[in-house]
Structure 1
Amino acid sequence: MRRTKKEAEQTKESIFQAGIELLAKKGIHETSMSDIARAAGVTRGAIYWHFENKEALLREIHGRLQNFYQSLVDAVRNDSASLTESLNKTVRQLFKKYRKDAAFRRLQDLSIKISVLYAGNDSMANDIIKTEEQDIRLFCEAVNDSPVTKSCTPLQLFMIMESLIGGLLIRQYIRQELLSDEDIDAAVAFIVRGFSGIGEISDN
């Protein structure tokens, strides 16, 4: 009997979630597609129908995370509040989600591993760069008219923000220590204050 589209989507999601669990627990290189199929309770044929290989599953993981980050950039771009207020709210939301949402944290941590392990893989690296370029474009549109861009380009601003936020996420992953409310307040204040300060410097 042919499966409905909804059933196929449910099977794919079951495989995806089982894959995240195993990859996080056993490691990327140590986890096989057969392991994931058994954990998801599907046949090898079913798993390869949805993901042609492990790299395709890793691309899906990275892609879903990028969709989330794109939604954050969209929120900043469409917010009626000032840019600094919007960034304050959005960056705080990200850090709190990482701390409180275990499923998101696994996804983020796996994405960090994928970026490191596949840095020399031209195909995977190109995909990562391609999705980042879309984020850069949207971010640049959001900040293009900001006073901040008088002293640095939108691209330079994106790199600074990405380094600060990404660095804190990587630090939590490596040390397995989550930021406290006080840590988040300090980090967000520093990032937003620095963002505002660039604009003030440009006016002097």
Structure 2
Amino acid sequence: MRRTKAEAEETRNSILHAAERVFYEKGVSNATLDDVAKAAGVTRGAIYWHFSNKTDLFLELYNSVSLPLEDMIARDIEQPASGVLAFIEKLTVDWLDELASDEHRQRIFTILLRCSYGGDLMPVLERQQEVDDRHVASLESAFARAGNEGYLNANWTPHSATRALWWMVGGLCTEWLLFGRRFDLAAEGRDGLKRLFASFRPATIDITASADVHSMA
């Protein structure tokens, strides 16, 4: 009996959901397609109907969520220079909030962090590097726009500001996901980003305090 398109899509989604659970529990390298088939309640042949191999299945699972900060690429960050830092900070805080509340994203990113890339899984690593390169270039361009109009502290270059933000968010997510979620990702992330972006902004002179100092001299 020929299956309908809706039934085929339901089977495909069941396989993806099962793969997510199996890869999370066993790791991608240790998991087999038989494990995924059993968890999904389908035959191995059903998996091959939808996916060429385990790498193809993993790539489809990988593509089901965006990477850390990749959401920003899909949005327009061509803000006026005066507001670009606030815009990037808000998007980054929003992304951490979403990760902290989305168990699906948490599992996918944990799988990616635990994965030993090489051999058949190299396409996933290459995809990550491609996304990273695009996003770093986009962020650096935004910081450069702010810097060119005097809205970036001279202690920072667009490159160093981009890297500091990238490493901070990556470090926060990695520690939170791999070491037992021992802190409030959203709250501590928001506080850390507030301090980091304060350092990105040019130092302001407190005119009142300056006048008081001169009057005491």
Is 162-171 or 56-65 further displaced after alignment?
Answer: 56-65
Change (3 A) 1:160 1:51: farther
Match of 1:103 in 2: 104
Does 1:186 find its partner at 2:191? yes
Match of 1:72 in 2: 72
Q: CA RMSD in A?
A: 3.0
Change (3 A) 1:195 1:14: farther
Identity %: 22
Structure having the higher Rg: 2
Report SS of the residue matched to 2:57.
Answer: helix
More helix by percentage: 1
Change (3 A) 1:14 1:138: farther
Match of 2:117 in 1: 118
| Deviations, residues 71-115 of structure 1 (Å, cap 9, x unaligned) | 23333616679222222322222222222221111111112123x
Correspondences of 1:52-71 after superposition (within 5 Å): 52-66=52-66, 69-71=69-71
Match of 2:29 in 1: 29
Change (3 A) 1:122 1:47: closer
Q: CA deviation at 1:51?
A: 2.1
Q: CA deviation at 1:139?
A: 3.2
- Give, in whole Å, the separation in 2 of the partners of 1:177 and 1:50: 35
Unaligned runs of 5+ in 2: 204-217
| Deviations, residues 133-190 of structure 1 (Å, cap 9, x unaligned) | 2323443454441214975245x44332221100011111221125325423322212
Amino acid in the other structure paired with 2:193:
V
Does 1:171 find its partner at 2:180? no
Unaligned runs of 5+ in 1: none
Amino acid in the other structure paired with 1:73:
I
Change (3 A) 1:184 1:163: closer
Change (3 A) 1:64 1:160: farther
**Scaled by the length of structure 2, what TM-score is found?**
0.74
Report SS of the residue matched to 2:30.
Answer: coil
**Scaled by the length of structure 1, what TM-score is found?**
0.78
